[in-house]
Amino acid sequence: MTGAEIRAEIGGEGDGEDDAPASSFTLDTDRQIYHENFNMDNLWRLLKEKPDEVELERRLLAEQWFVLRARRPGVRVRSLAQAYGLESLQDYLRRSTAWIDDLRGPG
């Protein structure tokens, strides 16, 4: 979704001419969710070596997930986590589903 689409949704055409007044703010979406399986050793190493760049925002113990968040602008959580060998929850689920499907076989 672009800014023009958002402006059009609130009453203008998205061309800046008759758009409704808007506030400006920064939305930090540089967070990633990870499953704890096979990730914890690499997580602790990442947090120890890059404490000014990323932080463990939240652990969801029942789900065995954690949320990793950038601590400052310009830090890309996904890229940094991949460099440390962390597999995102999305990638983990995709890989696990493919593995189970392969075990089931055709049909």
**pLDDT tens, 57-77?**
999 999 999 999 999 989 999
* Domain assignment of residue 19, yes or no: no
Residue 30: pLDDT band by 50, 70, 90 thresholds? confident
Domain count of the fold of the chain: 1
Supply the pLDDT for residue 1.
46
* Domain assignment of residue 7, yes or no: no
Burial tier of 79 (Cβ tally within 10 Å: 0-12, 13-18, 19+): exposed
Q: Return mean pLDDT, the chain.
A: 84
- pLDDT of residue 36 exceeding 90, the answer is yes
* Domain assignment of residue 72, yes or no: yes
* Domain assignment of residue 31, yes or no: yes
Length of the chain in residues, anyone?
Answer: 107
* Domain assignment of residue 90, yes or no: yes
Range(s) of the domain holding residue 63:
27-104
Domain with residue 51: its CATH number is 3.30.70
* Spacing of C-alpha 14 from chain mean position: 28
Closest Cα partner for 52 from 78, 33, 80?
80
* Domain assignment of residue 9, yes or no: no
Please tell me whether the overall predicted TM-score, pTM, comes out greater than 0.85 for this model: no
**Mean of pLDDT values over 26-32:** 72
* Domain assignment of residue 96, yes or no: yes
